[in-house]
Amino acid sequence: MDAILLQILNGLDKGSAYALIALGLTLIFGTLGVVNFAHGALFMIGAFCAVTLQKLLNLSFETLDETQKDFLGNPLKVETPYVEAWFGPEVGATIIDWSVPLAILFAIPIMLLVGYVMERGLIKHFYKRPHADQILVTFGLAIVLQEIVKYFFGANPIQTPPPDALSGSVDLGVMVGFDPNAIIYPIWRLVYFGFAVGIIGAVFSFLQFTTFGMVVRAGMADRETVGLLGINIDRRFTIMFGIAAAVAGLAGVMYGPLNPPNYHMGMDFLVLSFVVVVVGGMGSLPGAVLAGFLLGILESFASTTWATTTIPGINQIIIYLVAIVVLLTRPRGLMGRKGVMEE
C-alpha cells in the first residue's frame, strides 16, 4: 500500500509539469487553433527567468576587509551582494535564498509579454495557413529561442536551489499512519504539486467565473458568432495566448530546483506534452490536466524495479505506447469533444 502511494507521489511532480504545459498548449489550440511547437521553449524561458533573477540577486561588489587577513597578510577581499548591502545582511540573504519563488513575480510580466509579442508578431499571420506550416514555423521559433538562451547561458545545466526552508524531505508516511521512513518525500516536490494545482485552479476559475473567461469560452465554442455580437474576440485570444505562455513559464520557474535547467529542457518536455494533449483530447482543458497527471503517475509506476524487470525499458516507452493505443482506438482522446480534429 505504501509502495503504491509512494509511486503515485513520485509521479506527481512530472505529472504537474506535463499538466501545466499541456494546459497551455490546449488553451492555445482551443482558442486560436494553432499547434504551438514553441511551447516547450516557453517552459524553458520560464526556468531561465529564475536563473536570471538568481544571477541578478547575486550581483555583488568587492570590498577590502581590513580586519581579516588572507594567508599572505593582505586584507581579505569580501564579496557582498548588492541586495545584502541595501537591505541589511539578514534580509538580503533571505531574499537570495528565496530567489526561485521570487522569480514567479519576475516571470509573470516577462512571460505575458513574450506570449503577447509572439502572437502578434508571428502566430497571427499563420491562422489561415495549414497546420503543417504552423508546426514548422513554431518549430523554427523553438530552435531560435533555444539557441538564444544557449548563447547567453551556455550549454551546461545551471543549479537553481530551492530555499533552505523548502529543501530536504519530509516523512509523509508518519502523517498518514504508515511506518516511519516508509514514504520520504522531498518538500519541493510537494510545493511544486501544490503550485501546479493552484495555477490550474486559477486558470479554470478565471475561465469559469469572470466575464472575460466567459467570453473566451464562448469564443472557443463559436468564434464567428461571438465576433458578430460585436466583441473583439481576437484581442481576448491574444491575451489568452499570453496567459498560456505565462502558465508554461511558471511551470518552468518552479521546475528548476527539481532538475537544473538547461537550454534543451523545453524540447524534451515538448514531445511528451504533445502526447499528453493528444491523450487528453485536443482542445479539452480538463482532459489535458487529467492526462498530464495520469501519464506522470503511469510513468512513475513503470519505473519501479518490478515493472522494469518484467518488461525491460517499459519506463522509457510507456507514455508513447499509451498515446499510440489511445490515438488508434479513441482518436478524440480521453475527454475530447466529438468531432474536434478527429481526422
Partner 1 sequence: MLGLNKKDTSLLIIVALLTLLAPFILNPFPEGSAMAQFNAGYPDLMQRFVIFGIFAIGFNILFGLTGYLSFGHAAFLGVGSYSAVWMFKLLSYNVIPAIALSVVVAGLFSLLIGFVSLRRSGIYFSILTLAFAQMSFALAYSVLSNPKFNLTNGETGLQVYADDPQILQGANAPDLPHLFGLPMRATYTMDLGAWSFDFNAGYYLCAVILMVVFYLAIRIFRSPFGMMLRAVKSNQQRMNYTGLNSKPYTLAAFVISGMYAGLAGGLMAAMDPLAGAERMQWTASGEVVLMTILGGTGTLIGPVLGAGFIKYFENIFSKINDNVLHSWFAFLPDGLEDAVVFLIHPFIGKGWHLTLGILFMLVVIYLPGGLVEGGQRLLNWFKRKKTKSDDAPSGKTEPAE
Residues in contact with partner 1 by CB under 8 A are 35, 122, 125, 130-133, 135-137, 139-144, 146-148, 151, 267, 271, 274-275, 278, 282, 312-313, 316-317, 320-321, 323-324, 327-328, 331, 341, 343
What cell does 280 get?
487528453
Question: Which is closer to partner 1, CB of 253 or CB of 275?
Answer: 275
Nearest to 121 by CA among 247, 242, 230: 242
Question: Which is closer to partner 1, CB of 85 or CB of 321?
Answer: 321
Question: Which is closer to partner 1, CB of 1 or CB of 132?
Answer: 132
Question: Which is closer to partner 1, CB of 142 or CB of 166?
Answer: 142
Closest approach of Cβ 297 to partner 1, in Å?
19
Task: Please tell me what DSSP assigns to residue 186.
Answer: E
Closest approach of Cβ 313 to partner 1, in Å?
3
Annotate 227-276 with DSSP letters as a single string.
HHTT--HHHHHHHHHHHHHHHHHHHHHHHTTTS---TTHHHHHHHHHHHH
Q: Are 61 and 85 in contact (CB under 8 A)?
A: yes
Q: What angle do CA 88, 167, 100 make, to 5 degrees?
A: 55
Task: Please tell me what DSSP assigns to residue 342.
Answer: -
Q: State the Cα–Cα distance between residues 301 and 288, nearest whole angstrom.
A: 20
Question: Which is closer to partner 1, CB of 195 or CB of 263?
Answer: 263
DSSP three-state, residue 66: strand
Closest approach of Cβ 66 to partner 1, in Å?
40
The one-letter amino acid at 165: A
Closest approach of Cβ 30 to partner 1, in Å?
14
Closest approach of Cβ 78 to partner 1, in Å?
33
Annotate 68-112 with DSSP letters as a single string.
EE-TTSSEEEEEEEHHHHHH-HHHHHHHHHTHHHHHHHHHHHHHH
Closest approach of Cβ 51 to partner 1, in Å?
19
Closest approach of Cβ 291 to partner 1, in Å?
13
Closest approach of Cβ 269 to partner 1, in Å?
12
Closest approach of Cβ 48 to partner 1, in Å?
16
The one-letter amino acid at 220: M
Question: Which is closer to partner 1, CB of 3 or CB of 155?
Answer: 155
Q: Are 293 and 24 in contact (CB under 8 A)?
A: no
Radius of gyration of the chain (CA): 23
Question: Which is closer to partner 1, CB of 210 or CB of 316?
Answer: 316
Question: Which is closer to partner 1, CB of 81 or CB of 266?
Answer: 266
Q: State the Cα–Cα distance between residues 113 and 123, nearest whole angstrom.
A: 14
Question: Which is closer to partner 1, CB of 157 or CB of 331?
Answer: 331
Q: Are 191 and 15 in contact (CB under 8 A)?
A: no
Q: State the Cα–Cα distance between residues 273 and 19, nearest whole angstrom.
A: 8
